[in-house]
């Protein structure tokens, strides 16, 4: 790869990183908001176009052969053409240089006013007002609000009835499916379901205390169906010997140890919304556009679906 092209790519990466850091450090940051995303995308597009044009003409200067009258002076056989500098180019160059100096020093100094910053501050102020207004809702009101939030933010993937639309997303009418349990047992999990960094090991770290051996494929299938069936049917002994130490004998989890796998809780849903979730179906992104009150309300609504 040509050095000029490589330099352009490196410059683009640096500009992209600097833009992300600059916006991320402002109040509100990107925050998953479409306005901020479009603004940053536009800035990166302008930077990419500028770098492309610069690389193109530098490469052209490397390969093009100039023509014209040579000056009498030369240095080791290298001469200079007598071409006049275009007046328009010179004026434009000087104008852009002066404007750039003014812009960086006075027109738009670092950490000064920006539309993105103003927008983020207004959104943060509105969110704070919203949280204060609805901070003391009862559970019934939270569930009612959560349903509206679900229909707008969650139904496109999980379906209006929260059934997962034929497996394209998790069925929220029950805590977990057998497929999900099997995937977690085989691959482990670190989805911050407790809101903290408490990873679950994969199958190579799961021993069945009853057999004093690593859990087998047959045991995984059995316990997956047991958990998915609401802690009913075959698999109680396997669960007691392998899973209960962390998740508790009834599967309701233990604080700072393991999450509730018997049913949803508002806290568990909030943690998923804050951190996203990766599992057997795919990756669910975090929902940073929702306020704390909205997340709590959504947690109460989803919890109510499986009660």
pLDDT per residue over 120-165, tens digit each?
A: 889 999 999 999 999 999 999 999 999 999 999 999 999 999 999 9
Instruction: Please choose, from the candidates 55, 42, 41, 43, the residue with its C-alpha nearest in 3D space to the C-alpha of residue 10.
Output: 55
Structure tokens at 154: 């969650």
Give the lowest-confidence range in 24-33, 166-175, 244-253.
24-33
Structure confidence at residue 29 (pLDDT): 57
Percent of the chain surpassing pLDDT 70: 94
pLDDT of residue 25: 58
φ, ψ dihedrals at 226, nearest 5°: -65, -50
Q: If pLDDT is split at 50, 70 and 90, which confidence band does 1 have?
A: low
Q: Does residue 194 have a pLDDT over 80? A: yes
Phi/psi at 272 (5° precision):
-65, -40
Q: What share of the chain is helix, strand, coil (3-state, %, to 5)?
A: 55, 5, 35
Mean pLDDT of the chain: 88
When computed from its CA atoms, the radius of gyration of the chain, rounded to whole angstroms, is 30
Q: Tokens representing 292?
A: 């704390």
Short-list 273, 296, 290, 285, CA closest to 126:
290
Q: What pLDDT score was predicted for residue 163? A: 95
Beta-carbon count within 10 A of 109 CB? 10
Domain ranges for the chain, please list them: 3-117, 138-305
pLDDT of residue 247: 95
Higher-scoring residue by pLDDT: 52, 266: 266
State the Cα–Cα distance between residues 191 and 287, nearest whole angstrom.
Answer: 14
pLDDT at 291 over 70: yes
* Band (40; pLDDT cuts 50, 70, 90): confident
**Helices 292-305 + 139-153 axis angle, to 10:** 90
What is the DSSP code string of 218-263? HHHHHHHHHHHTTS-STTHHHHHHHTHHHH-TTS--BTTTB---SS
Distance CA 170, CA 243 (A): 22
pLDDT of residue 30 exceeding 60: no
Given this model, what pLDDT does residue 162 score? 96
pLDDT of 27: 53
């Amino acid at each position: 790869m040509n050095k000029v092209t490589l330099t352009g790519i490196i410059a683009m990466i640096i500009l992209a990183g600097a833009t992300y850091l600059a916006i991320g450090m402002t109040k509100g940051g990107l925050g998953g908001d479409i306005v901020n995303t479009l603004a940053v995308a536009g800035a990166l597009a302008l930077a990419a176009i500028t770098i492309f044009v610069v690389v193109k003409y530098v490469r052209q200067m490397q390969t093009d052969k100039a023509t014209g009258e040579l000056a009498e002076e030369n240095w080791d056989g290298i001469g200079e053409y007598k071409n006049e500098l275009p007046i328009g180019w010179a004026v434009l160059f000087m104008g852009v240089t002066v404007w750039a100096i003014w812009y960086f020093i006075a027109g738009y100094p670092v950490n000064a006013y920006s539309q993105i910053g103003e927008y983020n501050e207004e959104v943060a102020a509105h969110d704070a007002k919203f949280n204060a207004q609805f901070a003391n809702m009862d559970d019934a009101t939270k569930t009612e609000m959560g349903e509206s939030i679900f229909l707008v933010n969650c139904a496109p993937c999980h379906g209006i009835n929260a059934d997962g639309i034929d497996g394209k997303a998790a069925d929220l009418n029950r805590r977990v499916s057998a497929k999900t349990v099997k995937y977690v047992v085989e691959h482990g999990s670190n989805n911050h379901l407790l809101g903290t960094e408490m990873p679950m090991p994969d199958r190579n770290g799961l021993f069945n205390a009853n057999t004093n051996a690593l859990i087998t494929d047959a045991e995984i299938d059995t316990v997956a169906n047991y958990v998915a069936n609401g802690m009913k049917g075959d698999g109680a002994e396997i669960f007691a010997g392998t899973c209960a130490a962390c998740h508790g004998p009834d599967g309701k989890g233990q604080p700072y140890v393991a999450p509730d796998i018997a049913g949803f809780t508002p806290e568990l849903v909030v943690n998923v919304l804050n951190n996203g979730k990766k599992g057997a179906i795919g990756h669910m992104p975090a929902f940073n556009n929702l306020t704390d009150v909205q997340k709590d309300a959504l947690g109460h609504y989803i919890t109510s679906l499986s009660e």
